[in-house]
Amino acid sequence: MTGMTGMTGMTGYTADEMMTVAAARALKDGMTCFVGIGLPSAAANLARAAHAPNLVLIYESGTIGAKPDRLPLSIGDGILADTADAVISVPEIFNYWLQPGRIDVGFLGAAQIDRYGNINTTVIGGDYASPKVRLPGAGGAPEIAASCREVIVIVRQSRRTLVEKVDFVTSVGYGDGPGTRERLGLRGSGPKQIITDLGVLTPDPETCEFTMTAIFPGVTGETVRDRTGWEVRIAAEPETVDPPSAAELQALRGFQATR
């Protein structure tokens, strides 16, 4: 993996490892999961190795039930096709599998995500025609975010990534609040967790605004506020999260060593 942040220091694991492990734990055995590349793919593969052997990994390249024994660099590495239950075309993966709502969880990354869980992977700064930073774009994400039964987002937390309002809505979370998804006819229930290197944010059941409801060991509320681009609310009693187990770390590092 590239861009590992944090030091192992006294804890024996990095903030990125804690994030990936927490994201993996959110995936339950037997679920069907549409996997984005990068952090989501690492977490989904860890889940399958650690506690969810029957997790069905679906990649937009048309590989259903992929069982890679090393982390793929892209969503179309040969190891995904070689180990899949079925390999189908790209129109089919989107039209027959994602669109009708067959998939339990969509697992996405983000360049920016806002307080209502809207994702930007298109442009930052300037305007659309002449942006300051041109990002890769939508890929499969808009329809994954619309059609999976629920969505989990994994992103490193900073004021650049967790913003008050995204510069461009590539994939819709809760729009501008309650009722937006229904009005737009989006059939999935939307983002249920944003998992970061500091903890987990979940949507307020009434306002849909993301609130810090779990904080990782050693992380302070001050750090959370410093690294969030809006006046983030922190639950009165945030859930505690177990640090990565030796088995989880071994599985994760094993994947990373083989890439």
Partner 1 sequence: MYRGANAHDGSHMAEIVSLAEAISRAVRDGDTVAMEGFTHLIPFAAGHEVIRQGRRDLTLIRMTPDLIYDQLIGAGCVRKLIFSWGGNPGVGSLHRFRDAVEHGWPRPLEIEEHSHAGMANRYVAGASGLPFAVLRGYAGTGLVEETDTIKPVTCPFTGEALMAVRALNPDVAIVHAQQADRHGNVQMWGITGVQKEAVLSSERAVVTVEEIVDSLAPRPGAIVLPAWTVSYVAHVPNGAHPSYAAGYTDRDNDYYVAWDAIARDRDTFGAWLAEHVLAGAAA
* Residues facing 151 on adjacent strands: 106, 191
Nearer to partner 1 among residue 10 and residue 257 (C-beta):
257
In the set 4, 8, 53, 82, which binds partner 1 (CB under 8 A)?
A: 82
Per-residue CA distances from 28 to 50, 52, 141, 143, 257 (Å): 11, 6, 21, 22, 25
Chain positions 166 to 205 lying near partner 1, rule: CB under 8 A, are: 168-172, 175, 180, 184-187
The structure tokens listed for 8 are 């192992």
In the set 65, 76, 178, 221, which binds partner 1 (CB under 8 A)?
A: 76
Nearer to partner 1 among residue 158 and residue 180 (C-beta):
180
Task: Establish if 20 lies at the interface with partner 1 (CB under 8 A).
Answer: no
In the set 4, 7, 90, 247, which binds partner 1 (CB under 8 A)?
A: 90
Find the distance separating the first CA and the last CA of the chain, reported in whole Å: 8
Per-residue CA distances from 99 to 27, 53, 102, 148, 259 (Å): 21, 25, 8, 8, 32
Chain positions 136 to 155 lying near partner 1, rule: CB under 8 A, are: 136-143, 146-147
Least distance (Å) between residue 43 CB and partner 1: 14
Per-residue CA distances from 66 to 34, 157, 174, 209 (Å): 11, 29, 30, 34
* Residues facing 57 on adjacent strands: 33
Task: Establish if 75 lies at the interface with partner 1 (CB under 8 A).
Answer: yes
Nearer to partner 1 among residue 89 and residue 245 (C-beta):
89
User: 60, 143, 209, 248: which is the annotated catalytic residue?
Assistant: 60
The structure tokens listed for 51 are 């506690």
Task: Establish if 78 lies at the interface with partner 1 (CB under 8 A).
Answer: yes
User: H helices of 89-202, where?
Assistant: 90-92, 141-147, 180-184
Q: Is 60 a catalytic residue?
A: yes
Binding site for partner 1 (CB under 8 A): 2, 37-38, 60-63, 72-78, 80-82, 87, 89-91, 94-95, 98-99, 122, 128, 130-143, 146-147, 168-172, 175, 180, 184-187, 259
Active-site annotation, residues = 60
